[in-house]
Amino acid sequence: MDTGSKMTARLMLAVGGAVLGSLQFGYNTGVINAPQKVIEDFYNRTWLYRYQEPISPATLTTLWSLSVAIFSVGGMIGSFSVGLFVNRFGRRNSMLMSNILAFVSAVLMGFSKMAFSFEMLILGRFIIGLYSGLTTGFVPMYVGEVSPTALRGALGTFHQLGIVLGILIAQVFGLDLIMGNDSLWPLLLGFIFVPALLQCIILPFAPESPRFLLINRNEENKAKSVLKKLRGTTDVSSDLQEMKEESRQMMREKKVTIMELFRSPMYRQPILIAIVLQLSQQLSGINAVFYYSTSIFEKSGVEQPVYATIGSGVVNTAFTVVSLFVVERAGRRTLHLIGLAGMAGCAILMTIALTLLDQMPWMSYLSIVAIFGFVAFFEIGPGPIPWFIVAELFSQGPRPAAFAVAGLSNWTSNFIVGMGFQYIEQLCGSYVFIIFTVLLVLFFIFTYFKVPETKGRTFDEIASGFRQGGGGQSDKTPDEFHSLGADSQ
């Protein structure tokens, strides 16, 4: 639609305000790695202060693992609670309200050292996990619903860009000479106060989702007014018509619960696709690289591994920007397939490099190239696409439930990789990435045969594809697969 390809100031404000939540998620994913040693020293000193004896290595490992993993537990609970908020309070207001959690977490973590309380730090990690879980539902949903069809993929990528920028900022701030030291680490963890405050200032000027206003609240005039501001034009009849059609379709469906997504033949295929794409993001091995990149670089013989880790963060961000520009040209399915295939190739290279490192020291350079390549291919496909394709696969009715299920799948697999990678790596040594290679090949096969293209299509086209039992079956032509794409802007 012609009104749909214009980037307006109001649309940029709405997307920019929302993705501050994505930045928080990324920041808190990456922030805990760099100051590990100084925080473990704090745990030891606190234990000594309380019990007049040093902490045992086993207890320290348990406390540290809990500090890292409790974030994912909060994320699981938060992601599953998305539906409780978005339909009751609206998309924008839900994002605003969730900042209460960020403020509480910032205070708990920022003052944990002063209070000699590692419990405050762990509780703060859990609460910011809750916030991040909610964010992984709120942000892609809101961005998808305010974006015009022609820009939906590019703007949807901003969620992932926010996440990788957050990770990069955390890596830089976590350097010993900035905030990753004994005196300033509480400030490093409490810094989340700043983006939360910024979001509270910006979001009141951003509009509520016009789809929410029209379809959930039946406030057509408000929706029309919001659309005019977002699109920068007075003629928004085609957008309104599409939403009304979706609203009529919704009235014919009964309210969609999470169980209904799995029971109804109409939703079973899209929810399976949504879950597998989320798993393809987390079980690709990317979190293993993010969580343990410093130690991987150390094993590769890099003298300053922390700077190599920041280098991978820069590559991460750069290729997310590349994805932003190509997603509307190449299409979602194509980019996802390229990303998965590229990552599988890099994982094989990494395995070869780490295995032959002792015999050939120059292999350390190959392992760095492989890690950078792995990260780059991730950001071309499996990084950004699973988040916004969920919004595209579902209409207004089932969308909150679908986001809850997809988010829970993402966070659960994140938790499993975070907890299990160290043990699997001890068992498999340099062959650990072979496991991820096998998974990447399986995800490639699934995507090739089951995932339709969603670029530039409305919900009606998508839904009809699923109603005909088409989903991703081979009796459909590629053009028909394109029809999967969503109304969900």
Residue whose pair of structure tokens reads 């924008």 in the numeric block: 92
Question: For residues 404 and 81, is the Cβ–Cβ distance under 8 A?
Answer: yes
pLDDT at residue 150 in the model: 87
Most confident by average pLDDT, 1-10, 71-80, 383-392: 71-80
Does residue 71 surpass a pLDDT of 80? yes
Question: Residue 378 has which token pair?
Answer: 């991730």
Q: Which amino acid is at 35?
A: P
Q: pTM of the prediction?
A: 0.88
Span 76-100, average pLDDT: 95
Span 64-78, average pLDDT: 92
pLDDT at residue 469 in the model: 61
Angle in degrees, 0-180, between the axes of helices 459-467 and 265-282, rounded to the nearest 10? 110
- Kindly write down the DSSP assignment for every residue of 70-112, as one continuous string: HHHHHHHHHHHTHHHHHHHH-HHHHHHHHHHHHHHHHHHHHTT
460 band by pLDDT with thresholds 50, 70 and 90: low
- Model pLDDT for residues 299-335, shown as the tens digit of each residue: 767 777 778 888 888 999 999 999 999 998 898 999 9
Span 216-232, average pLDDT: 95
Lowest mean pLDDT among 3-12, 265-274, 279-288, 292-301: 292-301
d(CA 24, CA 132): 7
**Residue of 420, 306, 252 whose CA lies nearest to 37:** 306
pLDDT at residue 414 in the model: 87
pLDDT at residue 484 in the model: 32
Q: Strand, coil or helix: what is 31?
A: coil
What percent of the chain has a predicted confidence (pLDDT) above 70? Answer: 91
